[in-house]
Amino acid sequence: MKKIYQLMICLLLMYGATSCKEEEVLAPDQGKNPLKASSVYNVSYPLDWENVKYMPVAPGQKEPEAPWETGASTGIDFDMLYDYKRADGWELLYNIFNNQRTETNGYFILYNKYRGIIRLYYFTGQYPKESKHMVHNLSLAGSGTTSSPLLDFADQEVVDFNMRSRIASTVEKDLYRANTWYAFEYELAYDSKIPAYNKSSYSIIWDMKALNIQDFKANGSGTITGNMPTFSAPGINLTLSPNYTNKSNTGIQITSTNQVNDTPTGSSSWLTTAIKAGLSKAITSGVSGIATNILSGIFTKKKDNSGNSMALKLKSTTSLTGTIESNFGLPRLTLPVPGYGDPDYAYGYNKVPGIFYISSRPTVQQKVIHYAKQTEFGGGYDLDGSYYTNTYNSPSNFQLVFNPEVLKIASIQNIKYEMVLLNDGEITSGRIETIGDKQYAVGAVAGYKTSAEPSTEGFVGLRVSFKVVPNDGTPAVLIVKTFKCNIVTTNQFITY
C-alpha cells in the first residue's frame, strides 16, 4: 500500500467571495480516507507536461488545452511559450491538474535547473468577467527564511548582499481574460541552508490579484494602453491596502525579442530609440554568450535550435498608481521549497534550487587623481587646465558560491568580472555601453576623465557573468548579475 500523503488545498473562489473555502483533495493513488493537515499546502500530481495535449480534469469537465497547443488561448510571449522542454533543463515542480478536479482553472509549476528560474503556468477558467492587468508576487514564509537570499535576484537588479529580499513583485503587461493561459516567472538565488529546513520553517507563497492601473510611466513617459511592459514592482504587498503608488528602479522585464521588436518608439512610449538599440545589442550578444548593455540577464539557445530564450531586466525608473482587487485572480499558493526532501512531493524536482550566490559584498578600489595645471608664473593652479580621473578596479573579498546540484550536471566556464560606472565625462578605461537610457563605462578597469571632482555615487557595481555548460550537450546558459560593492578610495594629487 502506497504511503498516505497528509495534505489539503486552499482554493480561493473567484466569484467575488472574499473568504477562503477549504476543500479536501485526494492525493495520487490514495483512494479513500483523506486526512486533513494543519498546514494549507497543495497536493502535487504527476504530469507529463511535454506530451499532454489536454490538461487532466474530472470526467464531464471541459479539458483545457496545454498552453503550447495550437487551439489554446494564451497571454504568453512567443519565446517563452515554446520554451518548456526537459531537453532545455525544465523539470516539474508542482501540478494541480488531475482526473478528480472539477474546476477548470488551475496551475502547474516548472523549474529550470540550468537557469535557476521558477515558472508558474496558470489557466484562468471561466471566472474573469472583465479585463484587468495582473500583479503577482513570490514571498518567503517561515523562521528559516529570515536570512535567505532566495529572492534577492528576483527582487533586486543590482544585488546587495547586505539586504535580503522577502518578496518579489511583478506587474504583467497582459490583461486578465477568461479561459486563457498565463506564465509568471522569477529567478531564484542559491541558498545553501535549505536542506536544514522543512515546509513548516521554509516555504514560498505565490499570490496574484487583478489590478486597475490609473497611471504608468517608465523613465518619465509611457501609457497604460497598448504598449505597457511587464515590469518589477518591489514592495507591493498584496495583503495590505489595495490603493498604492509604486516607484521602482529595478527594471522592465524582457522575456521575448517580440517585446522589443513589436514595441514602437516615441515620446509616449517607454521604449526610446536609444533604449531599443541597447536592448537589441544585449539580446544579440547575450544569446551568443557575451554580456553587454545589461546589468542582469539569462540567455540561452534551445537544444532543437528552434529559437532563443532570455530573461533580462532593462534598467529603468518606473512609477505606477493602481488599485488591487483582492477577490480576483490566482488563489494564494503556499508551497514547500524543493531541496529538503519532502516525500509528499515525490513527483516533482526535489533538489535545492538556484545556480549561485555570492559570499559577501565585494570590495573595489577607487582611485581619484587630481591633475592640477600650474599657472604660467607659478604660485597657483589654472582651473581651466585642471582635471580629475576616476577609476575603479581590483574586486576582492568575495567568492561566487555555486549550487552543488548544478555542478553535478554542468560546468561553470568563462567567469568574468567587470566594473560598471556611470559615465560622467570622457572615458579613459573600459568601453562605453548603453544600459537603459544612460551610458556607462564598463570593463575590468573602468574610468573617466572629468573637470569636476568625482564621488562614488556614479558607481553601479561589479558585473559578474559566466556560462553554465550542461554535461549532456544542452546549449550553454549565460548568466549575468551585478552586485553592489564596498568602495575603498585613494586620492592622489599631481601637478603639471
Q: What pLDDT digit, counting tens, does each position of 410-447 carry?
A: 999 999 999 999 988 899 999 999 988 789 999 999 99
Cell numbers of 300, please? 540561452
Q: Which residue has the higher pLDDT, 389 or 223?
A: 389
CA distances from 204 to 143, 145, 185, 259 (A): 12, 9, 13, 29
Q: Does position 276 have pLDDT exceeding 80, yes or no? A: no
Place of cell 513570490: 138
Q: Which residue has the higher pLDDT, 371 or 377?
A: 371
Q: What does the alpha-carbon distance between residue 495 and residue 369 come to, in Å, rounded to a whole number?
A: 10
Q: What does the alpha-carbon distance between residue 458 and residue 394 come to, in Å, rounded to a whole number?
A: 17
The neighbour count for residue 24, using CB atoms within 10 Å, is 11
Q: Does position 255 have pLDDT exceeding 80, yes or no? A: no
Stretch 267-292: mean pLDDT: 73
Stretch 29-33: mean pLDDT: 28
What is the reported pLDDT for 7? 36
Q: Does position 227 have pLDDT exceeding 70, yes or no? A: no
What is the reported pLDDT for 174? 76
Q: Which residue has the higher pLDDT, 446 or 77?
A: 446
Q: What pLDDT digit, counting tens, does each position of 260-274 carry?
A: 666 655 544 556 676
Stretch 313-327: mean pLDDT: 64
Stretch 454-459: mean pLDDT: 88
What is the reported pLDDT for 2? 38
Query: What residue segments make up the domains of the chain, in order of their start?
Result: 9-212+330-354, 358-495
Q: Are 356 and 365 in contact (CB under 8 A)?
A: no
Q: Which long-range contacts (CB under 8 A, 24 or more apart) does 100-106 make?
A: 100/25, 100/26, 100/58, 101/56, 101/57, 101/58, 101/61, 102/57, 102/58, 102/61, 103/11, 103/57, 104/57, 104/61, 104/62, 104/64, 104/179, 105/14, 106/55, 106/57, 106/64
What is the reported pLDDT for 429? 94
Stretch 90-104: mean pLDDT: 89
